[in-house]
Structure 1
């Protein structure tokens, strides 16, 4: 009888775990699907609102910027108030942003809606932390790999349907069709998310949050101004200087406040510095290319294809992304971290280097995107595994949020750099400049992977 009760309890626990993993995966996939759908609409939005490419380049970074600013606070709130409450609140704000974006009459309202949607990115570190806390230890690597796969799954669905929706209905429909989806997710989350969890005492560091936000925003505005008026403009370098000084003030404040957003001591310990640099560079390079793809596919200087081909040509890369996350989890569980880390780094270098070796064709672009997506997915999956495994008890959400903050900063800067290049240079020359930047970053990532592997398990 006791054995039967134990078996029933075990099966019930496994069922709850699977429901939780499925829900968190659907949430991440939904956020990524919305992001992927709107990519094909960049040229149409630019033409409708009559703004420069460097302004359109803010459509992706606005989400990333808000995510970067609030991720640390959301991670701390998750550890203090409970991850269930915070995830439900984030879903509510995200849903409001989706609804507003579907009916945005101008660029200002569209960017405001994107700011609200940025709260959706804050769910990801809470999801990773929940998986680490609720999953049996021997399954954590696989479960995180599954969550990483939902990034690719969401991107695949978004790219597959987004270009068609934009071509036949219009870019606003990308947001409108997601409204009922988000409502259903909120209902499911209310019943499935666990009400328990490891909590800690503390307060949210609003001053640190403000300094951090001002630092990132000032730097991005300076970079945008550089794309509009040229990098020699003194205002641009003045903006970079102010951004740097604000960052110094933020770090100094974090060392002195009793309840910091960022545990400086935690992130100074290996392997956090290594995975932080890696995560930033990988996402930065990926989002530069992501911003470029609709232009290189549809522009006369590129492939000059109809906009629907944005979805067709990027779809294989999303499938590769979807497979590579679980594969990285499997490799880590069998071979350790070093081998898949090197594989991912080499894939980035190969993917970006192909562009300079062969004439640009649709098949070449598919190959570049597939290889690059695989490398990106492998590296980010491993980075997240290391972050939650290295975090002290009660700080898993904070550690995961820190890593996602760094990723969001890279994701915010990447499109701005691409938009600045597209504004400053003729299209064909801009394509070359952007791929040179990505190639250089990929070389740094490979070098870094060889150096930091001594710190990895």
Structure 2
């Protein structure tokens, strides 16, 4: 009995720590969202350049997530998480003193390493939690995304309005230091279960594929689709992806286990995760402009936080609720429900006049659907992973999510640059409406993709 109680106490401490780590990373991301128009004005750059503030974090996350997942299985998750937190902390501190856009993007690259903690957190919950509590534990971690976003949006808009956007990074620095100290004492000291080394050549090819694809979208927004640089970047992106996939088939310890992701249910949840995060980050990028710009509601910056807060609350609640429902009813019903929520949340933009209440409703419904779907995707991923590869499987899914999160804001930024005011908003919501329709179509047949 004493051993059981001690084990449960250790599990609770671990879950709380991992939850705080994820919440801190998400709070930093949410804080800076309201500052997009201010940063754009201060540095004198176009909307499609400002749109890189979110994708830079996602780009780094996408590139290193697979490597970090494998590294966690090789040298131990505790060591990797501590390294990631140290690099993330350096990025947060640097962001406060960025003198130009390039330095700010560099700080965001360092902050992108913080995203790599998420798959390791999910893997630790799957490995350290009693089997009957795994779904609940993953649901709790999913809720910390919403909790972090809620706190970040709530405090960030106020700080930006009254102090300035740089203060957001200064406020978060002590929290990161406290997390590093806590992680040193709480994370379990276990060795890795796999042998090998990280596939650096695969990382380089994968990074080139994503980076040049994003550069192509950016240049498309600045100069149009016919510009030669667009097609040069697009060609390099496609060639790099082909070379990456061929390379991964030949190496002894690949960055991406092609065999694993070919098996059900990984193809289905991969497509779903990408589309969900892609559509979410398109709307996340456009919301500050929709709320604060003259073409939208023309409200003060502080209202970005006020109007987005309810959506973060629904995100926070929907993750654990999805975990509970999956444990009782299976994945199909909540999966379809989450897909319908995405479609409805986006579709009502075209049905009613633009008002603060409409923005609140859009963000609440869409956030709920997003949280439900991503929670289920992560549950399926860790449950379907081969023994000893939970971190790798979770990292793969988070990589796909990061790619969607990197491309989404660039698409939104390009639309904001190409189209004037209200027309840009309509184009962006039309794109998201089409994507969410695909998600709903896919969700109806999810049962046949499950193992």
Match of 1:178 in 2: 172
Pick which of 262-271 and 226-235 moved more: 226-235
| Aligned with 1:131 (options 116, 125, 128) | 125
Q: Offset at 1:197?
A: 5.5
Q: Offset at 1:233?
A: 1.8
Q: Offset at 1:315?
A: 0.1
Structure 1 outlier segments of 4+, above 2 Å: none
Equivalent pair of 2:77/2:192 in contact (CA under 8 Å): no
Give unmatched runs, 5+ long, in structure 2.
Answer: none
Q: Offset at 1:196?
A: 1.8
Match of 1:438 in 2: 432
Q: Distance in 1 between matches of 2:12 and 2:257?
A: 32
Pick which of 179-188 and 189-198 moved more: 189-198
| Aligned with 2:113 (options 97, 119, 134) | 119
| Aligned with 1:29 (options 23, 26, 29) | 23
Any residues of structure 2 matched to 1:269-348 within 5 Å, and which? 269-348=263-342
Equivalent pair of 2:157/2:303 in contact (CA under 8 Å): yes
Equivalent pair of 1:337/1:456 in contact (CA under 8 Å): no
Is residue 41 of structure 1 aligned with residue 57 of structure 2?
no
Is residue 95 of structure 1 aligned with residue 89 of structure 2?
yes
Q: Distance in 1 between matches of 2:226 and 2:350?
A: 29
The Cα RMSD (Å) is 0.8
Pick which of 191-200 and 129-138 moved more: 191-200
SS in 2 for 1:305: coil
Any residues of structure 2 matched to 1:193-342 within 5 Å, and which? 193-196=187-190, 199-342=193-336
| Aligned with 2:146 (options 149, 152, 160) | 152
Q: Offset at 1:398?
A: 0.4
Q: Offset at 1:198?
A: 5.3
* TM-score scaled by length of structure 1: 0.98
Equivalent pair of 1:298/1:306 in contact (CA under 8 Å): yes
Q: Distance in 2 between matches of 1:227 and 1:53?
A: 9
Any residues of structure 2 matched to 1:7-22 within 5 Å, and which? 7-22=1-16
Equivalent pair of 1:33/1:155 in contact (CA under 8 Å): yes
| Aligned with 2:393 (options 387, 390, 399) | 399
* TM-score scaled by length of structure 2: 0.99
Equivalent pair of 1:67/1:405 in contact (CA under 8 Å): yes
Equivalent pair of 2:75/2:192 in contact (CA under 8 Å): no
Q: Offset at 1:122?
A: 0.1
Pick which of 264-273 and 227-236 moved more: 227-236
SS in 2 for 1:186: helix
Match of 1:4 in 2: none
Any residues of structure 2 matched to 1:360-371 within 5 Å, and which? 360-371=354-365
Q: Distance in 1 between matches of 2:75 and 2:62?
A: 20
Match of 2:446 in 1: 452
Could you list the per-position Cα deviations for residues 322-369 of structure 1 after superposition, in whole angstroms to 9, with x for gaps in the alignment?
Answer: 000000000000000100000000000000100001111100110000
Q: Distance in 2 between matches of 1:237 and 1:376?
A: 33
| Number of aligned positions between the proteins | 451
Match of 1:408 in 2: 402
SS in 1 for 2:71: helix
Give unmatched runs, 5+ long, in structure 1.
Answer: 1-6
Q: Offset at 1:456?
A: 2.7
Q: Distance in 1 between matches of 2:385 and 2:195?
A: 17
Q: Offset at 1:259?
A: 1.0
Equivalent pair of 1:55/1:224 in contact (CA under 8 Å): yes
Equivalent pair of 2:93/2:173 in contact (CA under 8 Å): yes
Equivalent pair of 1:338/1:456 in contact (CA under 8 Å): no
Q: Distance in 1 between matches of 2:445 and 2:405?
A: 24
Match of 1:140 in 2: 134
SS in 1 for 2:253: coil
Q: Distance in 2 between matches of 1:11 and 1:197?
A: 24
Q: Offset at 1:86?
A: 0.2
| Aligned with 1:417 (options 400, 404, 411) | 411
Q: Distance in 2 between matches of 1:198 and 1:323?
A: 34
Could you list the per-position Cα deviations for residues 33-68 of structure 1 after superposition, in whole angstroms to 9, with x for gaps in the alignment?
Answer: 000000000011011000000000000000000000
SS in 2 for 1:301: coil
Q: Distance in 1 between matches of 2:156 and 2:176?
A: 17
Pick which of 229-238 and 178-187 moved more: 229-238
SS in 1 for 2:445: helix
Pick which of 332-341 and 444-453 moved more: 444-453
